[in-house]
Structure 1
Amino acid sequence: MECLATFDTTHMALFFEKACRAAGLNVKIIPVPRQISASCGLACSYPCGDRGKVEAVVADKAIEVAEYHELAS
């Protein structure tokens, strides 16, 4: 299952991707799917099994995530 983090700013999406990749996580920036809305239009996808690690990076780096989403494959 794929998970997404959405953001209110492009800067936070890029910061999230850089911080997660530095922590060894498999993340990538994608456009926000139409069924999900975010003002900046960017989301980061990652495997749902990494959610705990992602949240640890977010807390450590003070990254502002608007919402987390789980997408069915």
Structure 2
Amino acid sequence: MIREKKPCVVLTFSTTTAAMSMEKKCGQNKIPGRLIPVPREITAGCGLAWKMPEEDYEKYKHKVESLNIVVEQKVWMKL
């Protein structure tokens, strides 16, 4: 069965430390998403990215920005 690709936002990081901080702080603040390997279509420094559904990003955008984690790229794509 083929899985349907859904719109999401992928945030990439320059360092593994930033990616791990994102995972920890999002968990503490109940921000949905998960760490994934950086998709092949994107080039990023550390190889890890935070993926969240597009609608969740729009809802939690200000909370994500208030975490003060340096994001290398924000990419909208279907995964």
TM-score band (shorter)?
0.7 to 0.9
What pairs with 1:35-54 in structure 2 (closer than 5 Å)? 35-52=41-58, 53=60
Partner of residue 19, structure 2 = 13
Gapped regions of structure 1 (runs ≥ 5): none
* Aligned-residue identity in percent: 33
- Report the TM-score, using the length of structure 1 for normalisation: 0.84
Structure 2: how far apart are the matches of 1:26 and 1:56? 13
Structure 1: how far apart are the matches of 2:32 and 2:68? 19
Partner of residue 22, structure 1 = 28
Gapped regions of structure 2 (runs ≥ 5): 1-6
Contact in 2 for aligned 1:19/1:57 (Cα 8 Å): no
Large movers: runs of 4+ above 4 Å: none
More helix by share: 1
Aligned residues: 72
| Aligned partner of 1:63 among 64, 69, 73 | 69
The CA RMSD measured in Å over matched residues stands at 1.4
- Report the TM-score, using the length of structure 2 for normalisation: 0.79
Q: Does 1:3 align with 2:15?
A: no
Please list the CA deviations of residues 1-51 of structure 1 after superposition, one character each: whole Å capped at 9, or x if unmatched.
121100000000111111112111221111101110101010011111122
